[in-house]
Amino acid sequence: MLTVRDLTVGYNGVPIVHGVSLELVAGATACVVGPNGCGKSTLLKGLAGLIKPMGGTVELTGRGDITTMSTAERAAGGMGYVPQIDDVFKPLTVEENIVIGGYALPRKRVAINKERVLELFPRLRTMLKRHAGVLSGGERKMLAMARVLMLEPTVLLLDEPTAGLTEEMATRLLDEQLAELKASGIAVLLVEQRANLAMASADWAYVLASGRVRRSGSAAELRADPSFSHIFLGGTEETFTDNAADTTQNEGEVRCS
């Protein structure tokens, strides 16, 4: 559904994500895991069109090359994006937020899709009249997802959807709700700090360090790889990078903290 080739994105002319290539397949989840500050959110912002790429291409099945499209055009073309920091209209109610998510659809479809997202997130149904601003972090994240799902995306980019959720709610989100979205044919790109949890539910995984893909492969296989678990069990990125095949560093590259 999505083919990313050699994407370089950053801020103010300074690249943060260097030459990343990845592919998303319909009905499958790929996760991007990596240490704090390594460029996961920057990568998603580049894919969603919030920041202009400095190089590379992004192709969306059915739409062709979308590299220069705006965020709104991408959304209309089937790309759903839920940012890391909450993306809800705080003064509006939960219900209003959901309905606004379907702004581009006929009224009948809005009603159908609203029912669909409430079935996926039954917790939201109990708080329809509540203002989004008083929701917990985890509830807001669910609302942001529900809002994005209203437009029936074919590709869903999720930046740390389990942040603010209890372990139990996070597991449910990844194992049940995401599984349901996958079953409906959506291609999901999941960015997570909870690497083990994400990789347990994902089909494919990309390990990002210093803005580069250091490893990619079947999530189950990577999860079992000792050099991978090392970094998330207290190993430093340096050690991890040393173990990886590509140890080159560009001059002036922004390193992870």
The residues binding Mg ion (CB under 5 A) are 40-41, 84
Closest CA to 52 of 35, 70, 40: 70
Instruction: Give least dist CB 109 to Mg ion, A.
Output: 32
Contact flag: residue 11 with ligand ADP (CB under 6 A): yes
Stretch (H or E) spanning 108 = helix 107-120
Each residue 17-36 as x (binds ligand ADP by CB under 6 A) or -, in order, gives -----------------x-x
19's contact among Mg ion, ligand ADP, none, with CB below 5 to 8 A by partner kind, is: none
The smaller minimum CB distance to ligand ADP, of residues 46 and 102, is found at 46
Residue bearing tokens 């001059």 = 251
Residues in the chain, total: 257
| CA distance linking residue 93 with residue 50, whole number of Å | 26
- For residue 11, the partner it binds in ligand ADP, Mg ion, none, with Cβ less than 5 to 8 A by kind, is ligand ADP
Q: Which does 36 bind (CB under 5 to 8 A by kind): ligand ADP, Mg ion, none?
A: ligand ADP
Candidates 2, 7, 9, 16; binder of ligand ADP (CB under 6 A) is 16
Strands (E), the chain: 2-11, 14-24, 29-33, 55-60, 64-65, 79-82, 155-159, 187-192, 204-209, 212-218
Sites of contact with ligand ADP (CB under 6 A): 11, 16, 34, 36-42, 254
